[in-house]
């Protein structure tokens, strides 16, 4: 019985945290940038099409967070949360590990917790259990891999955009 409570606690804390961060990005709540500023930031980093990437991050955080809080379609929500957090780790990477300097430790911890829930399942105190939803065990691994592949594509797009921008500056000089 204690594992069920532990999973509930982990799911709810991670889920609420992700929902909070996602609503900062989507609506500017809790001192966040809001959608327009988030798009500006993604555009400046070379993400194209910018609406796709901002939408995926918000969906991963808000949708993944809701899925984790309620324990509904948990492998899908955990994979979405993982995808959003891998992108967040990438965004904070240049600032080092510790969050005190803007580093990636916090999104890395949320990513690890999302993986833990994705691997363990929602537990007995979840809508998945209440509704009898039992998704195949390897589903989370497949979805997590897909989320990471999407993140890598995004990273390659920004790298390509940065290289093109640098090449254009060199030719202009």
**Dihedral over Cα of 53, 58, 61, 65: its sign:** negative
Rg of the chain, C-alpha, whole Å: 17
Contact 110, 14 (CB under 8 A): yes
Report cis status (omega within 30 of 0) of the bond before 49: yes
Entry pTM: 0.89
Over its length of 173 residues, how does the chain's per-residue pLDDT go in tens digits? 699 999 999 999 999 999 999 999 999 999 999 999 999 999 998 888 999 999 999 999 999 999 999 999 999 999 999 999 999 999 999 999 999 999 999 999 999 999 999 999 999 999 999 999 999 889 999 999 999 999 999 888 887 766 666 655 555 55
CA angle 133, 86, 46 (to 5 degrees): 125
3-state secondary structure of 123: coil
Alpha-carbon span 139 to 22, nearest angstrom: 24
Domain ranges of the chain: 2-164
């Amino acid at each position: 019985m204690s594992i069920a409570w532990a999973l509930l606690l982990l799911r709810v804390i991670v889920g609420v945290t992700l929902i909070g961060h996602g609503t900062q990005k989507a609506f500017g709540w809790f001192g966040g940038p809001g959608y327009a500023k988030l798009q500006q930031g993604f555009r400046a980093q070379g993400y194209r099409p910018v609406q796709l990437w901002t939408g995926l991050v918000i969906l991963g955080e808000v949708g993944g967070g809701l899925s984790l809080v309620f324990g509904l379609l948990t492998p899908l929500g955990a994979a979405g949360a993982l995808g959003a957090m891998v992108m967040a780790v990438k965004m904070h990477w240049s600032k080092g590990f510790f969050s005190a300097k803007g580093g990636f430790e916090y999104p890395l911890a949320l990513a690890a917790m999302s993986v833990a829930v994705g691997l363990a399942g929602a537990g007995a105190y979840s809508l998945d259990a209440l509704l009898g939803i039992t998704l195949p065990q390897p589903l989370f691994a497949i979805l997590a891999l897909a989320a990471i592949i999407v993140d890598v594509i995004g990273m390659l797009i920004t790298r390509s955009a940065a290289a093109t921008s640098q090449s254009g500056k060199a030719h202009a000089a």
